[in-house]
Amino acid sequence: MKRLVAGLFAVVVPAAAGAQGAPDWKAVEAEAIRTIQSYVRINTSNPPGDVTKAADLLVSLLQREGVPVKRYESAPGRSIVLARLKGTGAAKPILLLHHMDVVPTDPSRWQHDPFGAEIADGKIWGRGTMDMKGLGVVQLMAFLSLKRQNVPLERDVIFMAVPDEEVGGELGAQWMRKNHYDELDPEYVLDEGGFGSRDLFAPGKLVFGISVAEKKILWLKLRAEGVAGHGSQPHDRNPNDKMIRALARLLGEPMPTTPFSVLQTKRGAARGEGVPASDEPGGVQGSPPLNMTSRVGPLAQNKFNNAIQHSTISITSFRSGVGEPPKVNVIPSVAEATLDCRVLPGTTKEQWLAEIRRRLGDPEIKIEITYEGEDPVVTTQDSKFYKALESAVKQEHPDAILTPMVVPYGTDSNGFRPLGVKSYGFTPVVVPAAAVGSMHGDAEFLPAEAVGPAIRILFNALKETVTR
């Protein structure tokens, strides 16, 4: 049932003639770090996914600033926080989107308390610092700075915090699109995705990636059937043998690179990527190269860069056996495996499944799609907000290389792209490759020194986008 719960506050704010002087950025940074610590200390692991206390924190901070807030509940414990700075309506809104839930932890494997938000060695440690409470607070502080500075707004600026992203988003961003899209209707969405790093993309270069597309998610279950029997008498109908041989064939060939324009071509896109292609192979004739490899050069050899250049397959489970625990002396009749497939734009679901079948090399193995994400749509780089992000990054980091990119994981913003919304994934922090690798791991951290510059970048980009 759709419900609007406590939190709608009508606040009259005096009209401002124009923006004030620059914010006290040191004070803003200190406030942000304290807020990140408070936010991370609230355990919003999903499952179970209860974000009530996290939403309480955000609502209290927004109320304190006199910002009108709406709070929705898509299910018990699944709060959604929506705050708005009203503009003149001359342009459609910009939506700052982040999720409050985090993946579970095994505290015994952490050196620092995963919900302690301890600052040590210049890092804020804890679950959600990178994914994505840290960015949520960066968005919040940039949002509040617009209000504090009385920046004149030609469009609404919306801050939205949602639950459920870590399990698919059905009760979070998807629920809001389905039930309250009229409250949003943005021209732009900013969510998680790319970031800046001096060692992840290309060692020795400060590269900021702005996500303009995501891979299609396909989760597959493979099933091999055979003949049960006694373990002392092997036979050629053992489903485990069939599955193991098929999986070896599946991974035996390297994944080919995909001719995806964000990575390999000039401005424009290959046919099938959601925007028209030019007659010139790879892009628009005479336009400057805007792809990742032409801007950055050869990418470093690591799992992240491999994943953004190739469609990928991960074997995530293998289930077989009879009884619990499985009997060692029984050959089972069924073996199952699950695959997490992430497919770059330009390859259809049908093409991908045909490739999986070819690689498996066994027509008796059944393939079932257990989850299918949105078909990828590529967001244009030719927009006011994208250019404002580029400009703001260069203002803060003159040596930075800015590039569009595709991210290997899924985010809430991807569901807005098919609706024609220009959606970008970008956390304007400079982080080491180790911080990126810490997401969903046992030592997640965000460098404390990255917080202040990130807020300034986002504030300046928003200011440029919301004013004429």
Pairing between strand 216-225 and 366-372? antiparallel
Q: Where residue 272 falls among pLDDT bands split at 50, 70, 90?
A: very low
Q: Which residues of 27-56 are buried (b: 16+ CB within 10 A; e: fewer)?
A: ebbebbbebbbebbbbbbbbeebbbbebbb
Q: Other C-beta atoms within 10 Å of 19: how many?
A: 13
Judge if pTM exceeds 0.75: yes
Q: What is the pLDDT of residues 336-371, one digit of tens each?
A: 999 999 999 888 999 999 999 999 999 999 999 999
CATH code matching the domain that covers 216-258+310-372, chosen among 3.90.1170.40, 3.30.70.360, 3.40.50.800, 3.40.366.10:
3.30.70.360
- Architecture per CATH, domain 4-214+376-466, reads as 3-Layer(aba) Sandwich (3.40)
What average pLDDT does this structure show over 362-390? 95
Q: What is the pLDDT of residues 427-462, one digit of tens each?
A: 999 999 999 999 999 999 999 999 999 999 999 999
What was the pLDDT predicted at 420? 97
What average pLDDT does this structure show over 233-245? 98
| Dist. CA 56–CA 62, nearest whole Å | 10
Q: Where residue 287 falls among pLDDT bands split at 50, 70, 90?
A: very low
Average pLDDT over the chain reads 90
What was the pLDDT predicted at 375? 87
Maximum mean pLDDT: which of 2-16, 63-77, 264-278: 63-77
What was the pLDDT predicted at 282? 32
Q: What is the pLDDT of residues 107-127, one digit of tens each?
A: 999 999 999 999 999 999 999
What was the pLDDT predicted at 98? 99
| Contacts by residues 364-369 (CB-CB < 8 Å, ≥ 24 positions apart) | 364/224, 364/225, 364/242, 365/222, 365/223, 365/224, 365/242, 365/243, 365/246, 366/222, 366/223, 366/224, 366/225, 367/220, 367/221, 367/222, 368/220, 368/221, 368/222, 368/223, 369/218, 369/219, 369/220
Q: Per this entry, what is the length of the chain?
A: 468
Sign of CA dihedral 22, 25, 31, 37: positive
What was the pLDDT predicted at 260? 65
What average pLDDT does this structure show over 224-250? 98
What was the pLDDT predicted at 290? 53
What was the pLDDT predicted at 269? 34
What average pLDDT does this structure show over 183-203? 97
Domain ranges for the chain: 4-214+376-466, 216-258+310-372
* 281/464: higher pLDDT: 464
Among 66-75, 295-304, 434-443, name the one with the lowest average pLDDT.
295-304
